[in-house]
A and B are shown apart, each in its own frame.
Chain A
Amino acid sequence: MTTSHDIIVIGGGGAGLRAAIAAAETNLGLDIAVVSKVYPMRSHTVSAEGGAAGVIGEDDSLDEHAHDTISGGDWLCDQDAVELFVKEAPRELLRLEHWGCPWSRKPDGHIAVRPFGGMKKLRTWFAADKTGFHMLHTLFQTSLKYDTVRRYDEWYVTKLLVDEGRVQGVVALELSTGRIETLLAKAVILSTGGCGRVFPFTTNAAIKTGDGMSLAYRSGAPLKDMEFVQYHPTGLPFTGILITEAARAEGGLLLNKDGYRYLQDYDLGKPEPSPVLRSMELGPRDRLSQAFEHEVEKGRTIDTPYGPVVHLDLRHLGAKVIDAQIPFVRELCLQYQNIDPAKELVPVRPVVHYMMGGVHTDIDGAAPIAGLFAAGEVACVSINGANRLGSNSLPELLVYGTRAGRMAAWHAERAKEPSHAAVAQAADEHRRLERDLLGRDRGSERLSAIRTVMQTTMEESAGIYRTGDSLTKAGETLRELQERLPRAALDDRSRAFNTELVAALELSAMLDVADVIVQSALRREESRGAHQRTDFPGRDDERYLAHSLAFREADGSCRVDYLPVKITRWPPGERVYGR
């Protein structure tokens, strides 16, 4: 079965919905489809809590936001993209306000901002502590206005069709019926998010399995800077639920097993009674996560059945302040871990949170394959470089979602009709799905076993600290898992709503992406931002002031090239905090 659209957006989260709206507004004659494996309001954007940065204060400037972003990214950010980003961010956040987003306000009715880790000035807009939730629902509800945006809810894209160097469409599986359909298109926008589920402890929802990254990678588009995996320093153990940075911005303290504010030992400033921007508990996330690892080595962390943790202390704030400023934090701790932060210490540990890397795009969100675009966490423009500052990813969805949407519209207006070869490719994919997945003989092991080995390997070998040896071994393990996957058992052979089939497809995508992370990390022989090599502890601007570009070779292996970073006005300096 084949249908045609002008533009297909894969993924219905913040970036995808924003792109769909932008494309629709650019040209109301375009037929736009949003294809998402979950209903859009379930997308992971919904769980972002802290806020969205956009210069709005009289005492603030675009250059300062740009500088904070670039230095926070350890100079791996493309500065032209950052300059564009900081300029567009406040405009996009305002546009969302016009669409109804309930930004928190000052008493006079103007937008309020709060401090956030890594930002030197107050510029983080917020909607209580459910910023991502409100942004996503505002975008979803606003998208309902556009008749030209048609949704395919609970459809899983299994392949990108590419021919003659340009995108032709996708093959997708309708979950409720098991129907496999070919959706042809002149432009495709990937907005499928990151791949935190490749690791065992992650803030990411179950759906973050790197599907779009894998689709692009298998089609010949390179994945950029995949070795930069951001850990959020404070996640609940076991569930990985994020305890927002805002808890520290309001005055929360990080203590080791001796009740000591250990961050002062790691060049992050001096302990003050109130939070100080960019210092101590408000330092950048990668430095906080690294401090945790050191505390583990020194034996100063607390042991639990879920591994080592440290404590987040909010008790001194009192229930009233907590309920007013960070009510969600209290709710989360009580409802999911049975702890009351107003009265008890909260166990936390670093958890994988965000992928700085992703599908390589230019400043317009265009990937190297004609007609392929990407925006949001799935993409790497790069504005986040080696380490993303908190509250930059939400405006990124809006700024690059808009750009990708507009560019896709421009492209679709001019593109040729999809080719016959694409349709033949689709038929091959239909057959592959039928034969390899649904037609499979009883397998020898469970999907969950393969997934667990992958996650454990990644945490041990490609976690906060890495070595050449551990990465090489990890690469071998992953290759072995790739071979084991086709032999895994699928209990579920039915067509209707086969989530086990989707899990197998997702695991296949995750193994691709895990391999790219490991290979990119192995090649980068320096330490920068979130990528820390104990065998190469220094930053090496001579060899590595460049993005890694990972390409899939014909034999399935990964080749890594390098692309120099675009420096405009800020020459690389030292990342310095708390002084």
Chain B
Amino acid sequence: MTTENPRSAGVRPRPYQPQMSVWWWLSKRSYLVFVLRELSSVFVAWTVVFLLLLVRAVARGDGAYQDFLAWAANPVVILVNVVAFAFVILHTVTWFALTPQAVPARLRGQRVPPSLIVASQYVAWAALSAFVVWLVVGD
């Protein structure tokens, strides 16, 4: 039998284990956009809450509604809503862009091109927005 040569007994050398930095999300533009995208859901939630508060105020009558409007005119609330609006836009745009990847669609056996899926979402968004505008502004 062989005698083990101590040098060739091969102690497993230690690999270097890299540690991910706490600031990993700042190292690349695409990581930053991702984190902001995820953060935007907080602001989407805020927008929903704000809308519900509005509905509740309307349901409680004119007095409550006026109080609500006064509160909403507060500069802090306006600032929050402006920031929220920006994030909601970010949320919408990134969501639209990702949809073709998540849901590849077929029409008559052919793959629907991603650009078509993205475009159809914008069209739907525009149509819905036009309807809301008509509701609010129209006779």
Contacts and interface: CB of A to CB of B under 8 A. Distances in A.
Interface string B1-21: 111110111111100000000
Nearest to B14: A496
A245 interface: no
A2 interface: yes
A423 B1 contact: yes
Interface residues of A, number: 17
A177 B12 contact: yes
A251 interface: no
Contact of B9 (A1, A423, A496): A1
Contacts of A430: 2, 5, 8
B1 A434 contact: no
A571 to B, nearest CB: 53
Contacts of B1: 2, 423
B4 A1 contact: yes
Interface stretch (A131-139, A178-186, A482-490): A178-186
Interface string A1-32: 11000000000000000000000000000000
A431 B7 CA distance: 11
B7 A423 contact: no
B10 A174 contact: yes
Chain A binding site: helix, strand, loop or mixed by DSSP? mixed
Contact of A434 (B4, B5, B10): B5
Interface in A150-176: 174, 176
A434 B1 CA distance: 18
Contacts of A177: 10-13
B2 A182 contact: yes
A178 B9 CA distance: 9
A380 interface: no
B109 to A, nearest CB: 12
Contact of B8 (A176, A179, A423): A179
Contacts of A502: none
A427 B10 contact: no
A449 B4 CA distance: 36
Contacts of B10: 1, 174, 177-179, 495
Contacts of B13: 176-177, 495-496
Contact of B2 (A176, A178, A427, A434): A427
A249 interface: no
B2 A423 contact: yes
A241 interface: no
A426 interface: yes
A539 to B, nearest CB: 52
B106 to A, nearest CB: 17
A66 B93 CA distance: 61
Contacts of A495: 7, 10, 13
A311 B139 CA distance: 73
Nearest to A176: B13
Nearest to A178: B10
A2 B4 CA distance: 10
Interface in A173-220: 174, 176-180, 182
Nearest to A496: B13
Interface in A458-511: 495-496
Interface in A406-465: 423, 426-427, 430-431, 434
Which 7 residue pairs are nearest across A and B when measured between Cβ atoms?
Answer: A179-B10, A177-B10, A496-B13, A427-B2, A180-B8, A177-B12, A179-B8
Interface of A: 1-2, 174, 176-180, 182, 423, 426-427, 430-431, 434, 495-496
17 contacts: A1-B4, A1-B9, A2-B1, A176-B13, A177-B13, A178-B8, A178-B10, A179-B9, A179-B10, A180-B8, A182-B2, A427-B2, A430-B5, A434-B5, A434-B7, A495-B10, A496-B13
Given A426-B2, A431-B5, 9 more contacts: A1-B8, A1-B9, A177-B13, A180-B8, A423-B1, A427-B2, A434-B5, A434-B7, A495-B13
